[in-house]
Structures are given as structure tokens and as C-alpha cells.
Structure 1
Amino acid sequence: MHRVLLIDDDEQLGPPLATYFQRFELELSHALRPSDGLARLRSGGFDAAILDVMLPEMDGFELCRTIRKESDIPIVMLTARGDVMDRVVGLELGADAYLPKPFEPRELVAHIQTVLRRRNGHNGPATAQAPGVLAFEGLTIDPTQRSVLRQGQALDLTSTEFDLLLLLAREAGRVFSRDDILNQLRGHDAELYTRAVDIVVSRLRKKLEPLDCIKTLRNAGYSLALRRLSQ
């Protein structure tokens, strides 16, 4: 059973959600404060985290930033504001999905199931088409293990970042438009939009440095510009 940690200061939210999550073989734990949530995450054993934006001690964005410095655990963010800029900031910080409050429990479960499925490598037909390791100059991608080596160093990528890199790598040299990328990554967040693609690409580029391998073609899209070493 997958374990999920909810970090939200609403004491009334956790118990009914935990009961509902059990229907889908998900074990939900509830931390009321970021400090407690961080301590639990650092102790290990969790497969995903749900963060509220409005929290004591630190807001959900700062909490997300802190978690991302230490872990690539899938993160779903919640907010009562539903502001587009909140979604942008959340994506910039490494969140995998975003859900405005109030929400239906089934919708939250769907987000969790999606990020877990992608994290575990069950991406449907696209994954089945290319199960082997993709090796390039300075970059190795293992779709089965969902791991990436940059010049021999393991990278911590979010599930969104990994899926974007894998999409570009499977057809290196092909230019993918933003619409192409959106259609492939919508499983992460039903409200992904064009600006989000640019955010994820920018974040991925930074993690791939010093490799300069994701090229932008003005008014066209993005491509991976590395020489393939093996098929």
C-alpha cells in the first residue's frame, strides 16, 4: 500500500480523507505543521506528499522548495485561492500537480494515483515502446528505473521533468511544440497550460547543466540536441 503524507493545518481534513483514501489502497497520514511534516518525510517511508499553500511556520511554496532540496518525492499542492500565479509558482518550485480548494476527494485521489503511476514507471503505451536505456553524450536515461545520469552523476528529477526529458530523448532532434508537450504531460495536471511548459523546460535545463542539450526553436518548440550513442 502506498503511503501519502498530507501537510495541512486543518485538523478536520485528515481523518475523512484518510478513510476515503483507504478505498483506493492508499494510506494517508496527516501532519498539521510543516516542521512535523518535514521530520516525517525525512524519516522515510512515504511515496507522495500533499501540501497546503496556506500553512503556519512557512507557506506551502517554501515547504515545497525545502522538500525539493532533499527529495524528488511526488508533490501535489492545494490552495484555497486557485490563483493562476500560485500554479505557476508551484510548478517552478517542483510540484507535480496542483489542485484548488474546495476539491472533490476523488479528484485528489486521481492526482495522487497519476503521480505515483508515473513515478513507478507505468506510463502506458509510450513507456512500452522504448523500454531500453537511452544513452547520449553525457546523458543516460533509464525509462524502467526512471533514473537519469548526467556525466555519470545521478539527477533528482520530478516526475514531470523526467517525462519531459524522456519525451524529447525518445525522438532526439525532433522539435516538439508546446501543444505536443502539453498533450503528453496533461496527466500530471488537468490545467497545465503553455506557460507551464516553459517553466518545466527552464527547470530541467538548470538541472542538466553544464550540458546544453535542450534547444529552443523560436515559434516552434523544443528539441533534445545530443548525439545518440546506442539504439
Structure 2
Amino acid sequence: MATLLLVDDNEQILQVLDRYARAQGHETVLARTGDEALAAFAAREPDLVLLDVMLPGPDGFAVCRAIRQQSLTPMIMITARSEDEDRILGLDIGADDYVVKPFSPSEVMARVRAVLRRVPPARQPEVFRTGALAIDLQTFTVQVAGQPVALTRRAAEILWTLARRPRQVFTREMLLEMLWGPDYLGDVRAVDSQIKRMRSVLADVPGRDFEIRTVWGVGYQFEKA
């Protein structure tokens, strides 16, 4: 999980990016002007900034320069123009990557993952806990009521993804894209197989206070007992 500062004056684009980012377990902070972006950055110290170039007030280039004067936080620039000059300027003043509108939200999230792999979030907690469940986010090992549970790394990633948002139903396609990646060539049965094995392992674990519920025709949901 990372905290993302999303900056765009187009409300529709902002809400789409917010929805996709939250679906992948990230926390989000939204800003619609250059001044809001700088204030939000100072208040929240995000792990990554998605920054539109064309903004009311200070534009994206000015915001990028201001942030770079005080921080090495990764930034991805968003531009509506494909001219090389804009892209080169953004990279020259400190952006880590860029995307051009119109874009696929899935592509943007893939770029976020790629940048965060290069620059891991500094404030990521070591262990995620909810009730009796604990997942080590460095090794993706799992404990229930203090006892180790022998899950595969992929199963632990699925469990963490679901447990982070217990009220959200995740489709198989969402889990496949989030955890296997957009370039995975397999099908959704890979998700079903991992969850089937996970349930088999968890079935007899003492102290378990949750279950992975199937929402028929939709996907899966983490549910507290």
C-alpha cells in the first residue's frame, strides 16, 4: 500500500484514477489546482504524485519544480499533449515517468507499480493486521491468532488485497490485473485456484475470525466472522 497524491482539474479523470488506485489498496489524496497540490503534499507527504500538467494556478511543471526542491518523492506527469518538448521538460525537471491523455487507467496503475518498485514507499508498515490475521508485507507470510499459516506468496497477496478493503467485492479480473499484472496471458481460473487452496489451508486454523466469501456472479470479498 502507498499514499498517492492525485492532481487533475478534470473531475471525471480524478475520480476514475481514485477508484482504480483504491481498488489496488492505495490510500489517495485528491487535488484539483496547483496550490491544492502543494498544500496536500506538505500536509500528507505522499509516496507518489500523479500530476496533470494543465492546472489552475501553478501548472504541473511549476508544482513539480517546487516539490523537487524539497523532496525526491516519485512523480508521474500527465499531459494532454504528446509533443516531445513537454515530455522532455517534465523528465528534465524531475518527473520519473509520464502518461499522455487519453490513457488507460490500468496503464497508469501499471506505471505506478513500476515506479514504486524502483522507489519503495518509505512509510510502508512491516505488518498488516486485522483481528486475528497478520500478514508480513515484506515476506508475505501469514499468521492467524499468532500461529503461522502455510500459504503461497500469491495466496497471501490475494488475502492481503481482500482484507485491506473488507466491504469491497473484487472481481476475478481485478485481482488478476492487480496481482498477476496487465501482461499476464492466463485466465481467471488462476484466481479461483489460489482461493480454493487458500480456503483449504485456512479451514481448520484455530482462532480464525474471517472468511473469504464468494459473491456469486461477481467475485470475492473478505468478511469478518
Q: What stretches of structure 2 of length at least 5 have no aligned partner?
A: 122-225
Question: Secondary structure of the residue that 1:64 maps to in structure 2?
Answer: helix
Which residue does the alignment assign to 2:136?
none
Identity of paired residues, percent? 42
Q: What stretches of structure 1 of length at least 5 have no aligned partner?
A: 122-231
Distance 1:118 1:48 in 2: 12
The structure having more radius of gyration, on CA atoms, is 2
Which residue does the alignment assign to 2:89?
89
TM-score (norm 1): 0.50
**1:14–1:29 Cα contact (<8 Å) kept:** no
* Deviation, structure 1 residue 120: 1.8
Q: Does 1:39 align with 2:20?
A: no
Matched to 1:7, the amino acid is V
* Deviation, structure 1 residue 82: 1.2
Q: Deviations over 1:114-172 (max 9, x none)?
A: 11111129xxxxxxxxxxxxxxxxxxxxxxxxxxxxxxxxxxxxxxxxxxxxxxxxxxx
Runs of 4+ in 1 over 6 A off after TM superposition: none
Aligned residues: 121
TM-score (norm 2): 0.51
**1:17–1:28 Cα contact (<8 Å) kept:** no
* Deviation, structure 1 residue 11: 1.5
Which residue does the alignment assign to 2:218?
none
Distance 2:65 2:45 in 1: 20
Distance 1:17 1:100 in 2: 14
**1:4–1:26 Cα contact (<8 Å) kept:** yes
* Deviation, structure 1 residue 67: 0.8
* Deviation, structure 1 residue 16: 2.3
Which residue does the alignment assign to 2:99?
99
* Deviation, structure 1 residue 24: 1.6
Q: Does 1:48 align with 2:40?
A: no
Which residue does the alignment assign to 1:26?
26
Distance 1:52 1:25 in 2: 22
